[in-house]
Structures are given as structure tokens and as C-alpha cells.
Structure 1
Amino acid sequence: MADERNNDIEETTIKGVNGPITGWLDGHTILVGLMAYPIRHTMSPTMHNNAFAKLGLNGAYLCFEIDNEKLPGAIDAIRTLDMRGSNVSMPNKKKVIPYLDKLDKTSQMCDAVNTIVNDHGVLTGYTTDGMGWLRSLNKDGQDVKGKVITLAGAGGAATPIAVTASLSGAKEIRIFNLNDDKWEQAVKNVDTINKETDCVATVHHLEDREDFKKSIAESDIYCDATSVGMNPLQDQTLVDDPSWFHEDMVVSDTVYAPRKTKLMEVAEKAGVKHIYNGIGMMIEQGAAAFKLWTGKEMPTDYIQEIMDQN
């Protein structure tokens, strides 16, 4: 009879290796992963495997191309293989919920999950994207508590940002979205935030440029959580006039490729002091998941150096 194995990721000694590695495997290695489709473009394995190696943790992070059709079997595999957990990305963030045992507060409010933790067969869903955005600001001395935020978008990045900001003490969040397939999600986000938190949330039409301009001028933070600025829209920005910004505000773009987006260029021309791309959010959301799986802090400065080389 096989010995029972603990699915905690334990420390190990990595011998005969100079510097970090991404493939330390033995009979005690614990598996975590990412389930999404498509998936080959992801930087998550680089991030997590180098963090495991740096901290001497006996874990491995692999990617699995899983769509909605394969999802039920994939979730069963987490239990069957005693994986420590998995990240979940599109198109599975909402579809995965019925297969889980529990959800944290943020996932309940977002109606989406990006991280699964397996505690000996009990699967709990978390959403770390919004925490990643918040932690990336906190790391540079910025906070959302008591602040007015204008947020563009209501999709997979925007929703957890709005929810996490509201749970973290934001005074007001003004969500701007096109009258498209995400409009209903924007309305739902506002309704949830107003019911569940003390933050005041409102929804606005992004097509109303005067309303959009006025909101940004009155805000402490502007965050673009749309795909504008990312390939093939890398030459575009929702705000092309530097006069819309004031220098003491925060301007945040969730896009990280390219590293400097058109929005960031416009904010620089306006003299904005605090400008961020999405690389910090990406690393910090991964760090939040890493902490849930391992109980340890990801060495984010070290991971930042590696990611800057990719």
C-alpha cells in the first residue's frame, strides 16, 4: 500500500545546481498548475518555478490547455493527483465555480476564480487579480483607502480590481464601459459593491467623453483595465489628451506588453508622478496565489528581475 502523501509544498535541498532552476523533480515534488485555453503565451511557469527554486521548495508549476469541455475532468484530476492547486484563466474563471467546494469573499463578489487551493480534497476558489493590482500600488507607497477611482472596463481584470478596491476602503469607484457585452457585468459589479461594501459605485457610458473627462479630473486614481494598448491595439489609448490628468494622481494600466503603453506616454506628458504598467499586478497576483499554496512570500524583487529579461 502506498504511503499517504502530504500535499503541502515542503523545503528541499537542491544539489549540484548553480543558480535558480525550473525543473527539480523527485518522488516528493508537489504539483501546481495553470488551466486555460489558449495557454502557451503565459509567463506564469517562469515566475512560479523560479520562486520555488529560489526558496528551495519542492514544487513544480505546469501548464495545461483546458477549455470548458475538459474542465470537469481537470478539476477531478486536482483531487485525484493530490495537486496543491491550480491557477485558472480564460475561458474557465466563471465555469469552474460549480466544481469547487468553497469560495472566498472576493470570488463570491466577482463571480469568478483564478486560483484553486486543494486542502486534501477540499477545493477553495480565490481571486488574486485585484489583490495583485492593489499590492503593486502598495509596494510603491500608494493606497486606495478613502480614494476616488475612475476605472475603465468590466472584464476579467477590471472586475476583481473594482471589488478588491471596494473591500480595501476606496471611497468611490466610477466604472466606465462601452455599451457592449460587458455592460451587464459593469452594472452587476456596481450593484454588488454597493450592497456588500461602504464604497459608492456608479456605472457610466464610456462613449460619453465629457463625463469620462470630468470623472478622471475628479479622481485620485485612474485605471485602464481594458485591452486597449495591448497588441493589436498597442498604438491606441482611451485618453489621448494629457490635460485630462493632474500630476498628483495615480495612472495605472493593466497592460504589461508593451512595458510602456500609449496611456503611460500620455500620463508622462501630463507630468503625472505615479504611473504604472501591468507587470507589477501580474507578479503580485502570482505572489498572492503562491502564498496561498505555500504559506511563504514570493521573492517578488527577484522575480521582477527575471521577468524584465523576458
Structure 2
Amino acid sequence: MGFSEINGNTRVCGLFGYPVEHSFSPAMHNEAFCHLGLNWVYLPFAVSIDKLKEAVTSICSLNLVGVNVTVPHKQRVLQFVDELEPAARIIGAVNTIVNHNGKLIGYNTDGQGFVQSLASEANFYPRGKKAIIIGAGGAARAVAVQLALSGLQSLYITNRNQEKAEELAWHINKSAATAISTIPWESNLLEQSVAASDLVVQATSLGMSPHVDQVPVFPFHVLTSQHLVYDLIYNPGQTSFLKKAATQGSRTMNGLGMLLYQGVLAFQLWTGVKAPVEVMRYRLLQQFDPK
């Protein structure tokens, strides 16, 4: 379906954020709708913080199917939806809203997208495994919570701000049986924790374009071929962190998979139709330099 074919029966979903000009989601979702012949369209809406409540109310007023929610609204939007699914409630953030017959249900597909990418692209399943996360911000929180909900045996968290790491550990401990430990930044204990882990997740912004040479302090020398190393950054596609991990023989993944599958899951929540994953992946790859 092309935009010239939009009519009175077209279903509308979109993105609430500020700004939204940089988002890859409209192209990814509209390509999927077109591929499946669905009379749907995905539009970006630049929503300032002071207009968020009005924007969420408009979902029902305008009969939108639903929206994605991005920065700076993922936490603020919690108070404006009618219901939260468990992961969104525990994470404390919403990235997808579904309009279910006038009832707005908030989901968080970020962490689920991460776990799905592990399964689909690395045949890695968290249950019974050990992981370490570098960082304690919003992305780290979504990933950590979903790993714990997926049966992870133990999780180490290290962050420059130790207080944030401890707060995240405390938060997860309330909701999951995973054993949580916090590791002081640059501590000698970091080597032991990495060596004991199956999965390493780099969840800080260090290494993101244009500062591609930045890496967090990390004991790369203890990595082996038994480690899966995942950097949530997807631009550049091969960060300095991943390059250093690869020299140790570790398997590596970038954040494209998480970006892709959080969109796949949102697509399926809205449409009830299986998403064309490879079509969406290809459209994503067209939008950035994957070097």
C-alpha cells in the first residue's frame, strides 16, 4: 500500500516522542504493512512533554490502533494508560500502547525484543544462564528485568554510578528469583564476574556514533569463545567494544536485533498478524551504515 492509497478505512498507528525525526520505526513498519498488503499506516508524532497527556487521550479520540513511545516519554506515559502488562509495570516504562476497544494498555517490548533477538539470532536462552550488564540506565533496566523474568540464574550489574546499580538490583529482586550482585566500576571483582558469565551486555552509550572509539573499562582478556557479547548500540554496527570482544573469540551481536524485535512485537500486538521479520530487518539496514 502506498500513501496515495490512504482512505477512510486505513488503520493508523504511530510514534510519540520528542524529537522523532531520527526514528527508523516509520519506514520499518510501513514497509511491513506494504509487504503484507495491509491498509495501515505508521506516522511519527512530535509530542512535547507538556502535551503528552493530551496526545495519549487522542489515541482513543482519533481511534488510533496504538503507538510506540520513545524518549522522553517512556516513564511519564505510565500515568496516562489504563493498564500495564507485567513487564512494563516491573520495568517502569512503556514503549508500546495498544488501544483495545477504548482501553489503553501499556507494554514494554524493549526487553522482550532483546530476549527474542538472543533466541532467534544466537540460539541463546537465558534460563539457567549467568549474565553481566554494564550500565544501569533505561535500556539496561529493560534488559535486566526481562532476563530475570526469563529465568536467568544470576546477574551481575556494574555501573559508574554504584547507587544506580544497587537501585536496579533491588528493583529486580522484588520481582524475580534471579540472584543479583552489583560490581563496583573498575573493581577487581569485574574479572571474576565476567569469567563466570555466559552473556555480557554493554548497555551504556559509550562507543555510539560519532564517538566510536570510546569503550567502558572492561577486562576483555578474560573473554573466551564461550561468551556471547551483546552491545545495545547499533550505530556503528561494529562498536569498538564488539571488536575487542571478537579478538578474544567471543560471539558478538549489536543492538539491531533488539531494535528489530521490539518493533516486530509491537507490530504483532497491533495487527494480530505475524510480522515479516526479514522485510523489517532489510528496511532497517537501509537506514544506517552498519560498518
Does 1:197 find its partner at 2:179? no
Q: Which runs of 5+ in 1 are unaligned?
A: 1-13, 15-20
Match of 2:144 among 162, 171, 175: 162
What is aligned with 2:53?
Answer: 72
1:94 and 2:94 equivalent? no
CA drift of 1:192 comes to: 2.6
Partners of 1:126 and 1:66 lie apart in 2 by 19
Q: CA 1:150–1:24 in structure 2 vs 1: closer, same or farther (change >3 Å)? A: farther
Question: Aligned partners of 1:24 and 1:130: how far apart in 2?
Answer: 35
Q: TM-score, normalised by structure 1?
A: 0.88
**What is the aligned length?**
286
Q: Find the counterpart in structure 2 of residue 5 from structure 1.
A: none
Alignment match of 1:31 (pick from 9, 12, 18):
12
- 1:2-17 → structure 2 map (5 Å cutoff): 14=1
Alignment-derived partner of residue 18 in structure 1: none
Q: Partners in 2 of 1:295 and 1:280 — Cα distance? A: 21
Instruction: Measure, in 2, the Cα distance between the counterparts of 1:211 and 1:90.
Output: 34
Displacement after TM superposition at 1:128 (Å) = 0.5
2:29 to 26, 42, 48: 48
Q: CA deviation at 1:23?
A: 6.1
Structure 2 unpaired stretches of 5+: none
| Contact 1:239/1:263, CA 8 A, preserved across alignment | no
1:242·1:267 contact (CA, 8 Å) conserved in 2? yes
2:146 is aligned with 1:174: no
**Aligned equivalents of 1:240 and 1:94: distance in 2?**
30
Is 1:252 matched up with 2:234?
A: no
Q: Which has the larger displacement, 23-32 or 61-70?
A: 23-32
Instruction: Give yes or no for the alignment of 1:135 onto 2:113.
Output: no
Q: CA deviation at 1:66?
A: 1.2
Q: 2:191–2:219: 8 Å Cα contact kept in structure 1?
A: no
Q: For the Cα contact (< 8 Å) 2:129–2:152, is it kept in 1?
A: yes
Distance 2:67 2:279 in 1: 22
For residue 300 of structure 1, what is the amino acid of its counterpart?
V
Distance (whole Å) between structure 1 residues aligned to residue 223 and residue 97 of structure 2: 38
| Partner Cα distance (1:284, 1:85) in 2 | 17
Deviations 1:253-297 (A, max 9, x none): 00000011001100111011x210000110000001111101112
Task: Give the RMSD, CA atoms, in angstroms.
Answer: 1.5
Q: CA separation of 1:22/1:221 partners in 2, compared to 1, >3 Å: closer, same or farther? A: farther
